[in-house]
Chains A and B, each alone.
Chain A
């Protein structure tokens, strides 16, 4: 097994009486898009800040390529690019000046590279504009640009899609996938957007109240629930409800958003459709709810989870 790019061992941080991160041990293998999930306030950002030496842990350590960062600081940051929460820049300076300032802090990064990353995030035409005139989406893209400026091996992204419109989110995902594919980067993606993690991540870890709940390949959690939560829009509703109630492989049937929600194994979905059609029920849509969302609901129970 290849050496992990970043590892945390018993990482712990306390703010006053509140335990923000509790003995967190994680391993980020190379070449992965590693999803870091958890509700708001679960300790994701604190963990990331400790990985980047922005916050000092009370106990435990972070290891980058096997070296404890407490000993390899600040050189280990040469291998890491990061966008932590919102992308905040020196607003009165241009995008290019911002990047040139950051380029001076890394070896082997020249103005050409600054222009290259601006092209990568489609901001080359705005390079001379003050960052304070940028939209939120543009700032986030510039945030990605500064994170990949020095060609890091690991890219840490903390909620990169927050505040973006749907098109911006799609662009962000494509950008992340392209960085992994074309530049060979490993990505550590913190998010509370389950569909985002489900779509692009290969591994994930789930954090709650500072503790690690689960960690492993995404596929493992997508197949964990054999009976997939499914949403149905059909008419007449009474007849559809009656038919679904008679099918033994349909469970947890309930009304939802003018239609129904129920669980059924993926393999049985054609039979559900057939039964409804034979019963003269018109089907407008029948879609599985995100598997990861379904898994999360089972994991956290009644806890409120921010999901898009």
Chain B
């Protein structure tokens, strides 16, 4: 019975104009950024080579499409959660605002199933957004700037991944990023259950993310125990995909943290939604 409900939710999400704001914003930013890399490519290359000077002999173009995609992941994953809230935040709260729960929840389907279908559809939206980002940045980047080996800085190490290896690493990185964004989705979803306006989940999620990120990066010893357990501390899990060798233990640990938070947010969403009085 979940499939028809999931189909309903996808129809609702993808028939709204606001759903495409995120996709549109990414489609606008990526070509602009790639254009910026192409214009300032020689300067960027000089900077990169400057770090290697005296130790390596480099040939070819380091500031290629693969490198641009890698760099864009850093920049955009700060902003993608905001775009996710636009879609997931509306999933429950939007129905409350529109009054459509009065026809939708008076069907012989339990609230838990309906909420689960909404969560699946919101997750689909978030994952689609992440892969849209990957598709555009790799596609446009490699077409515009050319494909090649990717030069990455991992912690204090420099790593040059051959093109064929890098493609696989990007696939892993985007999968990890999608998982991280699903945690953001469940947080937005929880706020969407708690309020009856579409702005509340956006503001609530962003507030939690900002506060948690600030706590994650504060250099205070007494907060170390907290920082290790904050989910925002693990938002950079995708970067592990570019380490050599890939630190699977660290990835497992980060996914466990993100998954636990996601599960808590989801369980709370179900708890509150099943007890919610529909007054609108």
- For residue A80, which residues in chain B have a CB less than 8 angstroms away from its CB? 106
Residues of B within 8 A of A101 (CB): 8, 11-12
Contact indicator per residue, chain A 21-59, by CB within 8 Å of chain B (1) or not (0)? 000000000000000000000000000010011111000
Task: Count B-side interface residues using an 8 Å CB cutoff.
Answer: 27
Please give me the residue from chain B that is nearest to A88 by CB atom.
B99
Closest to A80 in B: B106
Inter-subunit contact A88/B102 (CB<8 Å): yes
**Contacts of B79 on A, CB cut-off 8 Å?**
none
* CB of A93 within 8 Å of the partner chain: yes
Interface pair A88/B275, CB less than 8 Å apart:
no
- Count of chain A residues with Cβ under 8 Å from any Cβ of B? 32
Q: Identify which of A56, A84, A92, A106 contacts B102 (C-beta below 8 A).
A: A84
Question: Could you say which of A70-78, A164-172, A193-201 contacts chain B?
Answer: A70-78
The digit string for B109-136, where 1 denotes a CB below 8 A from any CB of A, is 1110000000000000000000000000
Q: Let me know if A89 is at the binding interface, CB within 8 A.
A: yes
Question: From DSSP, what is the main secondary structure of chain A's interface residues?
Answer: loop
Q: A74-B108, A105-B107, A105-B108 are in contact. Are A90 and B12 (CB under 8 A)?
A: yes
B210 at the interface (CB under 8 A from A): no
Measured CB to CB, the closest approach of chain A to B270, in angstroms, equals: 15
CB contacts under 8 Å to B, within A75-106, are 75-78, 80, 82, 84-93, 97, 101-102, 104-106
Check: A191 CB closer than 8 A to any chain B CB: no
Complex CA distance for A55 and B5, rounded to whole angstroms: 22
Tell me how far the C-beta of B173 lies from the nearest C-beta in chain A, rounded to whole angstroms. 35
By the criterion CB–CB under 8 Å, are B277 and A97 in contact?
no
A106 CB contacts on chain B under 8 angstroms: 107-108
Name the B residues within 8 Å of A74 (CB-CB). 107-111
**Inter-chain contact B15/A54, CB cutoff 8 Å:** no
Q: Is B98 located at the chain interface by the 8 A CB criterion?
A: yes
Interface residue ranges, A against B (CB under 8 Å): 49, 52-56, 73-78, 80, 82, 84-93, 97, 101-102, 104-106, 143, 146
- 22 pairs from A and B in contact (CB 8 Å cutoff): A52-B106, A54-B106, A56-B277, A82-B102, A82-B103, A84-B103, A88-B99, A88-B102, A88-B103, A90-B98, A92-B15, A92-B17, A93-B12, A97-B11, A101-B8, A101-B11, A102-B103, A104-B8, A105-B4, A105-B8, A105-B104, A105-B109
